[in-house]
Amino acid sequence: MSLEVKISDVKTSDDSRLRSFKVKLSNCEIQTPVKAITTTDFFKDTVFPKDLSNLSEHFIRFDEKNLELYYIDKKSTDKKSRAYNKHKKKIDDNVTSITLVEYKNKEPKNENKVPIPKIPDNQEIKRLINAAYSLSDITAIPSIPLVARNINFETLSSFLGYLQSCYDQIKISNKKKILGYIPMVAPAFIELIVDFYIRELGINAFYVDFDGTTLNTNKPGIDVIKRKISEEGYEENHFLHNVNISYGKAINEIGVLTARDLLAFGHGFDSLGGVHVPPKRGKNFYDWLKKHKDILGNTTRVLNKDDYGYYKYGIEEINIENIYPKDSLFAFKEIDEKPSFSTKKKLFNIGNLQQQAIESINLRRVVNEQNDETINYFETKKNVTKQDIKILSS
């Protein structure tokens, strides 16, 4: 079985990396650009429009303990399976579901009391691949962010060895396509990772883990991914999904933040995934943060796709009702009148998801109808800065 995903009807822009095509990751065909539907914030009665996306994303995080339980304890296995099936029931049957599995574990601390990141051993890889394969329509190589953050010339071979072991485990009885895992690390290592996937494994579909960082700070890494893919003859024939991309420091008091997650499409990403990263700093920092910042309030934001702004809800200087999308899944008053702030946040998040999906469809039209003026399209968005456009154009 060929591991390459089939891509057809490719349309590319002349002035940015925005593109559109049809791809088969599983039995269902997907049109890009596309927003992957995450159901984390869905309520039991949430009905999401079925015509906005035929791609969904599910997420599972393991550590050493719960990974072992998943594999040896039937109750634990069933719990993960039920969560996946629950996710599938919330979306249409004609949707390809990507399950991203993360392994996050540390060895005992070294002599300086610093935890040592751990690459999964063969038994753990077997267990991780069982979840990644069984609970998904396409097998995504599990991410290991704690290891990836420490990749250097000494550790790269171990990381590539991990990718090879995952591939070998998948290939034992594989009937699904494979989604390669690319951590957003230093360009030199990204180049070698992409080269390994294409030349050694024959994979042309990938997901890039931004690990909670922003688009603009990772321009060198994005460039090397696209350049290496083109160098290997896959300029058109590849699929690139992103995950854990941040649109800015939402914990701060800033009233409006630029929707740079949407700008990722202009940088050559075909699918926009969810954000699953937990806080990275120590407990003391977040204890301080809770005392000095309104985290729930600052991170409750409304996306306006017409001007690419994420607006903070509940502050006097912004009349959120005036900028609230008229075509949103929920009426503003329906959310505003909810007594629970956490309920409001979830409803806004579902509405934002809908707006992202609508905008991804708008961008298909842009690349088809004005492929030489895609930069102009992004320039019309009020909250997209001159620096954003400069980076997008380069």
Q: Residue 316's pLDDT is what? A: 80
Predicted confidence (pLDDT) per residue in 313-340, tens digit? 988 888 999 999 999 999 999 999 999 9
Predicted confidence (pLDDT) per residue in 302-313, tens digit? 999 999 999 999
Cα–Cα nearest to 303, from 343, 366, 250, 353: 353
pLDDT band at 287 (very low <50, low <70, confident <90, very high): low
Residues 298 and 313: their CA atoms lie apart, in Å, by 8
Does the model's pTM come out above 0.95? Answer: no
Res. 293: pLDDT tops 70: no
The region of weakest confidence among 67-71, 110-114, 267-271, 316-320 is 110-114
Residues 83 and 61: their CA atoms lie apart, in Å, by 12
Cα–Cα nearest to 193, from 239, 245, 158: 158
Question: For the domain 6-289, what is the CATH code?
Answer: 3.20.20
What's phi and psi for 96, nearest 5 deg? -80, 130
Q: Are 196 and 156 in contact (CB under 8 A)?
A: no
pLDDT band at 288 (very low <50, low <70, confident <90, very high): very low
pLDDT band at 284 (very low <50, low <70, confident <90, very high): low
Sign (positive or negative) of CA dihedral 277, 167, 118, 158:
negative
Burial 114-124 (b: 16+ CB within 10 A, else e): eeebbbbeeeb
N residues, the chain: 394
Predicted confidence (pLDDT) per residue in 204-255, tens digit? 999 999 999 999 999 999 999 999 999 999 999 999 999 999 876 655 568 8
The number of C-alpha atoms within 13 Å of 260 and in the hemisphere containing its C-beta is 26
Peptide bond into 187 cis (omega under 30): no
Residues 370 and 233: their CA atoms lie apart, in Å, by 26
Predicted confidence (pLDDT) per residue in 101-158, tens digit? 999 987 777 677 777 788 999 999 999 999 999 999 999 999 999 999 999 999 999 9
Domain boundaries, the chain: 6-289
Q: Residue 247's pLDDT is what? A: 77
Q: Residue 252's pLDDT is what? A: 57
Residues 244 and 261: their CA atoms lie apart, in Å, by 10
Q: Give the three-state DSSP class for 259.
A: coil
Q: Percentages helix, strand, coil for the chain, rounded to the nearest 5?
A: 40, 20, 40
The gap from C-alpha 107 to its chain's centroid, in whole angstroms, comes to: 27
